[in-house]
Chain A
Amino acid sequence: MSEDRKQSDPIMQWVTFCLGDEKYGINVMQVQEVLRITEIAPVPGAPSYVLGIINLRGNVVTVIDTRNRFGLPSKETDDASRVVIIETDRHIIGILVDSVAEVVEMRASEIETAPNVGNEESSKYIQGVTSRDNQLLILVDLNKFLSDDEKSELDMF
């Protein structure tokens, strides 16, 4: 492979997870660890997309209800449920997902822009889509997953 291609069309690694019937991908560089479901303490007065907080080796980490954030119906957690600890703009947060699948590699050129047909701000965090094993993989831009105000609010918990 030529150096030019490495630079112009870099290979990226994505951690994939499932929510309902859909598969999503997040940049592996932003994933710190993946935890089995643990006790999540609710926070009074928190926004609906905040499930609560967990104690991660002495640090308080806010856990986001990803289903709520993506407009999906809620679901009871089970053995496959995982909390993915991610870093976004120096904020450490956890996102609850139905299951974590694998780490996949893909070139930047394989990612297509997702259609943005509405005016909803929430769609900004969809970085793109790509096909993987005959299934659509929706790539999430974690830096846009929460707004700056929301990130600041999470630090208060």
Chain B
Amino acid sequence: MNQAKPPSIVHQQLALDVYLQTLLDEVPEAEDDAVAETVEAARLVAREALSTAPESVPVVVSSPDVAVKTLVRTRQAKLVEPENPVKLQALSVMPDWAQYEFQALFFKVDQLILATPLIELSRTIKIDRKPSKIPGQPSWFMGLLDEHDDRIGVLDTCQLIFGKNRSQQRNQEDYPFKRILITQDKKWGLACDEILSIGKVKPDGVRWRTARQKKPWLIGTIIDELTAIIDVKQLVPHRKNS
């Protein structure tokens, strides 16, 4: 009886070490569920190891070490590693809203119909006065508009999307933009010609652009309608001093 105890204590210590080590291991925050499951797995392994180590049975130290660690590793690998790493990597550059069915606002800019997720917008307004031009700003920055308590930087969506040449062909005096889509943070407004409708878009009905070094704001195309989906956050500039 006395001879069997020391190996049992080693075994228990080993199991506890594995359990504690697993708790201390750094795991990315995004994988909270996996972490919880992994920790739970380690806890089970530790509990199992403790319960399956009868005092009377001699235990070889090296064997359970490998077994427990392998079991934890296997469990970790099973829970943390994605089934299709390539696909997950592509989706990881997508905004959250692109992962599930989302509501999109369809609008028109210079004869082109575009869509953007509703979640990126706070509201839309009619343009009833000209934005105040700020000297020294790029030509796509139409100016500032005070709207309720917000000061909105209005952007020439036509120029941002089609470039300066096509924008210059458009006579803003004769064909002014009529509506503004205001971003969620209420800092920016995208000028457009018309707001069309709101519709639901399923991710599998979209051809997503996973490589977006060029035109990062063009995130995909709705396959049925061949409508470009605009990522507003990528389209608006980052204010340097606000």
Contact = CB atoms under 8 A, between A and B. Distances in A.
Q: Is the interface of B mostly helix, strand, loop or mixed?
A: loop
A118 B132 contact: no
Interface in B187-206: 187
Contacts of B133: 20-22, 72
Interface string A115-128: 11110111111100
A113 interface: yes
Interface in A95-150: 112-118, 120-126, 129, 131, 134-136, 138
B144 interface: yes
Contacts of B132: 21-22, 129, 135-136, 138
A129 B242 contact: no
A107 to B, nearest CB: 17
B159 to A, nearest CB: 13
Interface string B219-242: 000000000000000000101111
Interface size on A, as a range, is 20 to 34
Interface string B134-154: 111110010010100001010
A117 B138 contact: yes
A138 B239 CA distance: 17
A103 to B, nearest CB: 20
Contacts of A75: none
Nearest to B135: A70
Given A21-B130, A136-B144, A115 B136 contact: no
A122 B138 contact: no
Contact of A123 (B130, B134, B151): B134
A115 B134 contact: yes
A45 interface: no
Contact of B134 (A21, A126, A131, A134): A126
Contacts of B146: 131, 134, 136
Nearest to A135: B132
A36 interface: no
A71 interface: yes
Contacts of B242: 113, 115
B138 A118 contact: yes
B134 A120 contact: no
Contacts of B135: 69-72, 122-123, 125-126, 138
B241 A129 contact: no
B155 to A, nearest CB: 9
B180 to A, nearest CB: 16
Nearest to A123: B136
Contacts of B239: 115-117
Contacts of B138: 117-118, 120
B134 A129 contact: yes
Contacts of A118: 136-138, 141
Contacts of A112: 151
A117 B136 contact: no
A53 B146 CA distance: 38
Contacts of A72: 133, 135
Contact of A114 (B130, B144, B187, B237): B144
A25 B237 CA distance: 26
A120 B239 CA distance: 13
Nearest to A137: B132
A115 B130 contact: no
Given A118-B136, A129-B151, 11 more contacts: A22-B132, A22-B133, A115-B240, A115-B242, A117-B137, A117-B138, A118-B141, A121-B136, A123-B137, A138-B134, A138-B135
Interface of A: 20-22, 69-72, 112-118, 120-126, 129, 131, 134-136, 138
Q: Which 3 A-B pairs have the closest CB atoms?
A: A123-B136, A122-B136, A70-B135
